[in-house]
Amino acid sequence: MKKKWLKIAALVAALIMIAGLCWFANALVGNPVSKWLAARTAEKHLEEVYGDTDFEIERIGFNFKDTDYYAHIMSPSSEDSSFSLRIDMLGNLKLDTYESRVLYGGNTQNRLYMEYRALVDEVLEAPDYPFTSFIAYGDLKVGFRAPDVEQGVPYWPESYVILDKVELDKQYDIRELAKTAGYLVIYVEDDVVTVERAAEVLLELKEVFDRRNVPFYAIDFVLEYPRKEEGGTIKEGRVNVEGFLRSDIYEEGLAERVRMADEELNAYYAEQDRITKELAEQMEAQENE
């Protein structure tokens, strides 16, 4: 009798272990039944909503963070016409990103951004790039107003250039757009960190990009001491400006303009730190009441 109960207990433990492993695997990689349901829901949705298009399912993936499936939809005739459907494990459609990715121009915006970034990378990765930069990239701040849509149009910061409507797959003149929407983010390491040296570096950066015909409208620029190897700390001291206009990068009075921009930015950061500290103190006081 005792052996029988031991066998039963071992079987129950094994079943519990198997159930636990199945639950863990389901949460991590999903399961075949739910994936089939997601595929069926995606196919039905495409047929009902986008039946007059050439949209097709590229792949279906599982996201363990939200335990939902994502059907990635693409068009073989349009590089800007891709989006995703979010579907839960029971096959219920939770989200269709067509409007944000296609209608509102999210894909087109990302394509233009990547084209500009590639132009900037060519400059930064060239053998004759004269500086050591820990962070350096280009950003194209362009947004689109959705055609014939009154509500739901995304909010764009003032720094963005807003084009009237989305033209899917249109080949825009990236260099022309960059004259009013191109932003550089460049950190330069140097043994000398002064506003005078920062002015010199900005002038040289402008010359480097002009020489390769890569326009930009403004730059976020940091001049700092070289980083030490193996995670060592950087020597204190930096010159930091944000949104510094290309049109303001000329030799006469440049060091003073850099100084003023650096001081204004430091004052802004100090004010934000003060506000954050006050809010933290107020929250702590409320919790202690």
More confident residue, 234 or 197: 197
- 80 & 209 share domain: no
- 252 & 138 share domain: yes
- 171 & 201 share domain: yes
- 35 & 171 share domain: no
Residue-level pLDDT at 15: 44
Instruction: For residue 19, tell me if it sits in a domain.
Output: no
Average pLDDT over residues 45-58: 94
Average pLDDT over residues 23-41: 70
- 281 & 262 share domain: yes
- 99 & 146 share domain: no
Local confidence band at 188 (pLDDT 50, 70, 90 cut-offs): very high
24 has a pLDDT exceeding 80: no
Q: What percentage of the chain exceeds 70 in pLDDT?
A: 84
Residue-level pLDDT at 11: 45
pLDDT in tens, 54-113: 999 999 998 878 889 999 999 999 999 999 999 999 999 999 999 889 988 999 999 999
- 189, 227 in Cβ contact below 8 A? yes
Residue type, position 121, single letter? D
The domain total for the chain is 2
Residue 247 structural domain: 114-288
Strands (E), the chain: 56-63, 68-75, 78-87, 93-96, 136-140, 142-144, 161-163, 182-189, 218-224, 238-245
Residue-level pLDDT at 263: 96
25 has a pLDDT exceeding 50: no
- 47 & 158 share domain: no
State which of 77, 103, 129 marks the end of a domain: 103
- 168 & 257 share domain: yes
- 206 & 270 share domain: yes
- 275 & 141 share domain: yes
111 closest CA partner among 186, 183, 167, 184? 167
Instruction: For residue 10, tell me if it sits in a domain.
Output: no
State which of 58, 78, 103 marks the end of a domain: 103
Average pLDDT over residues 25-48: 80
Q: What angle do CA 120, 108, 171 make, to 5 degrees?
A: 70
- 183, 160 in Cβ contact below 8 A? no
Average pLDDT over residues 232-253: 90
Instruction: For residue 260, tell me if it sits in a domain.
Output: yes
- 123 & 265 share domain: yes
Residue-level pLDDT at 213: 97
pLDDT in tens, 110-158: 999 999 999 999 999 999 999 999 899 999 999 888 765 555 556 677 8
110 closest CA partner among 82, 68, 74, 150? 82
Instruction: For residue 236, tell me if it sits in a domain.
Output: yes
Instruction: For residue 163, tell me if it sits in a domain.
Output: yes
| The two three-digit tokens of residue 150, written as one number | 């009154």
- 129 & 245 share domain: yes
Burial class, 160, CB count within 10 angstroms (exposed 0-12 / middle 13-18 / buried 19+): middle
Residue-level pLDDT at 6: 47
CA trace torsion 40, 41, 42, 44 (10° rounding): 80
Mean pLDDT score across all residues of the chain: 86
- 62, 71 in Cβ contact below 8 A? no
